[in-house]
Structure 1
Amino acid sequence: MPLVVPGINSTMGDKSEWVNKLMGKKISDSSTNETMFAKKDLPESHRILEHDAMKTMDHQPNRLNIHLGPDGTVQDVNYG
């Protein structure tokens, strides 16, 4: 039986959906295509984490974290 924690698991989206949409792409200010994904198409609660950048350690279960690699492409996606 899967673990269900009220307020965490029940309100989060599916990570795999965002992995499929974002992995290997760069984040763009305006357009979405095969190599870019527009910021305007991301969920309202998100943050883009540049490679080796400092970040806060606050946990927000509904926030999509987009981790960029050194070349600016998406390397990982998670919630928190």
Structure 2
Amino acid sequence: MPLIDPVTMGNSSDWKTKLLGKSLGDNHSESTFAKKDLPKEHRVLEENSMKTMDHKPERLNVHVDGKGVVRDVSHG
């Protein structure tokens, strides 16, 4: 059995399609993605913020700019 289930994890490009250019909030709208619908294993990384360097392949990293708009998405 693989350590990572690609079906439940999804891939970064799928998440980029859903998140890029949107802000994170409580509910969905044309310009907002609901935080509750992010995977359980995620973190939001603001510009120039410190982060741990531990690698968790299943963790979704959501990179936001100074205005809280998603600019990149990756796993790790």
TM-score when normalising by structure 1: 0.82
Higher helix share: 2
What's the % identity of the aligned pairs? 52
Partners of 1:69 and 1:76 in 2: CA distance: 9
**1:69 corresponds to which residue?**
65
Instruction: Report what 1:49 is aligned to.
Output: 45
Where do 4+ consecutive residues of structure 1 move more than 4 Å? Answer: none
- Do residues 19 (structure 1) and 16 (structure 2) align? yes
Larger Rg: 1
Shift of 1:13: 1.9
Q: CA deviation at 1:69?
A: 1.1
Q: For structure 2, which runs of at least 5 residues remain unmatched after alignment?
A: none
Instruction: Note the residue ranges of structure 1 that are not aligned, 5 or more in a row.
Output: 1-5
Aligned to 1:3: none
The number of equivalent residue pairs is: 73
TM-score normalized by the length of structure 2: 0.86
